[in-house]
Amino acid sequence: LVVVIPLKSPDSGPILKCDRLKDARARRVWRGPGCIAFMPELPEVETIVRSLRPLVLGRQITAVELRRNGSSRSSHPTASRILASPAREFEQRLPGCSIESIERVGKNIVFHLRPYMGRETRLYLLVHLGMTGRLTCETTPEFRQKHTHLVMALAEAGRRDSPHGTAPLEELRWLHYSDIRRFGRLRLTARPDEALSGLGADPLEIREEEFFRLLRSRRSMLKSLLLDQHFLRGIGNIYADESLFRAGIHPAAHAARLDRKRALRLYEGIRETLSQAIAQGGSSISDFVDGQGYAGNFQVYHQVYQRTGEPCVRCGAAIRRIIVSSRGTHFCPRCQRGAERRAAGVSLKK
DNA sequence: AGAAGGACCTGCACGC
DNA sequence: TGCGTGCAGGTCCTTC
pLDDT at A342 over 90: no
Please name the residue whose C-alpha is nearest to the C1' of nucleotide B3: A325
Judge if the beta carbon of A237 is closer than 7 A to nucleic acid strand C. Answer: yes
Alpha-carbon span A256 to A233, nearest angstrom: 19
Q: What is the dihedral of CA A85, A87, A91, A93, to 10 degrees?
A: -20
In single-letter form, the type of residue at position A145 comes to Q
- For residues A85 and A282, the model is more confident at A85
- Using alpha carbons, select from A341, A299, A221 the residue that is nearest to residue A27: A299
Which residues interact with strand B by a CB < 7 Å criterion? A 31, 33-34, 36, 81, 146-147, 180-183, 217-221, 224, 324-326, 345-347
pLDDT mean across residues, chain A:
78
pLDDT at A341 over 70: no
pLDDT at A305 over 60: yes
Instruction: Please check whether residue A240 is in contact with residue A223, taking contact to mean a CB–CB distance below 8 angstroms.
Output: yes
Q: Which nucleotides of B are covered by protein (CB under 7 A)?
A: 1-6, 8-14
- Exposed (0-12), middle (13-18) or buried (19+): which is A337, by Cβ within 10 Å? middle
Which residues fall within 8 angstroms of residue A159, CB to CB, at 6 or more apart? A60, A167, A171
Q: What is the dihedral of CA A154, A157, A159, A164, to 10 degrees?
A: 40
In this prediction, residues A160-173 reach a mean pLDDT of 58
Judge if the beta carbon of A36 is closer than 7 A to nucleic acid strand C. Answer: yes
pLDDT at A57 over 80: yes
* Run of H or E residues at A297: none
Please name the residue whose C-alpha is nearest to the C1' of nucleotide C7: A34
Q: pLDDT-derived band of residue A295, with 50, 70 and 90 as boundaries?
A: low
Query: 3-state SS of chain A: helix, strand, coil percent to 5?
Result: 25, 20, 55
Angle at A233 between CA A225 and CA A10, to 5 degrees: 85
In single-letter form, the type of residue at position A142 comes to E
Cα–Cα distance list, A274 to A53, A255, A283 (Å): 20, 20, 11
A122-131, A255-264, A284-293, A302-311: segment of lowest average pLDDT = A284-293
Which residues fall within 8 angstroms of residue A329, CB to CB, at 6 or more apart? A223, A237, A240, A241, A251, A321, A322, A323, A346
CA pseudo-torsion sign A6, A272, A344, A237 = negative
Q: pLDDT-derived band of residue A219, with 50, 70 and 90 as boundaries?
A: confident
Task: Give tens-digit pLDDT for A114-154.
Answer: 987 766 688 999 999 998 888 988 888 877 677 889 999 99
Q: What is the pLDDT of residue A129?
A: 92
- For residues A90 and A72, the model is more confident at A90
Q: What is the pLDDT of residue A156?
A: 83
A15-19, A291-295, A317-321: segment of lowest average pLDDT = A15-19
Instruction: Please check whether residue A147 is in contact with residue A86, taking contact to mean a CB–CB distance below 8 angstroms.
Output: no
From the CA of A88, how many Å to the C1' of C3? 41
In this prediction, residues A200-221 reach a mean pLDDT of 91
From the CA of A33, how many Å to the C1' of C2? 21
A34-43, A79-88, A211-220: segment of lowest average pLDDT = A34-43
- Using alpha carbons, select from A253, A248, A268 the residue that is nearest to residue A315: A248
Q: pLDDT-derived band of residue A109, with 50, 70 and 90 as boundaries?
A: very high
Q: pLDDT-derived band of residue A2, with 50, 70 and 90 as boundaries?
A: very low
pLDDT at A190 over 50: yes
Alpha-carbon span A170 to A214, nearest angstrom: 52
pLDDT at A31 over 50: no
Q: pLDDT-derived band of residue A34, with 50, 70 and 90 as boundaries?
A: very low
The DSSP letter of residue A83 is: B
Active site (catalytic) residues of A: 40-41, 107, 327
What is the b/e burial string over A191-204, where b = at least 16 CB atoms within 10 angstroms of the residue's CB? Answer: ebeebbeebbbebe
Q: Which nucleotides of C are covered by protein (CB under 7 A)?
A: 6-12
Across all strands, nucleotide nearest A33 (CA–C1'): B13
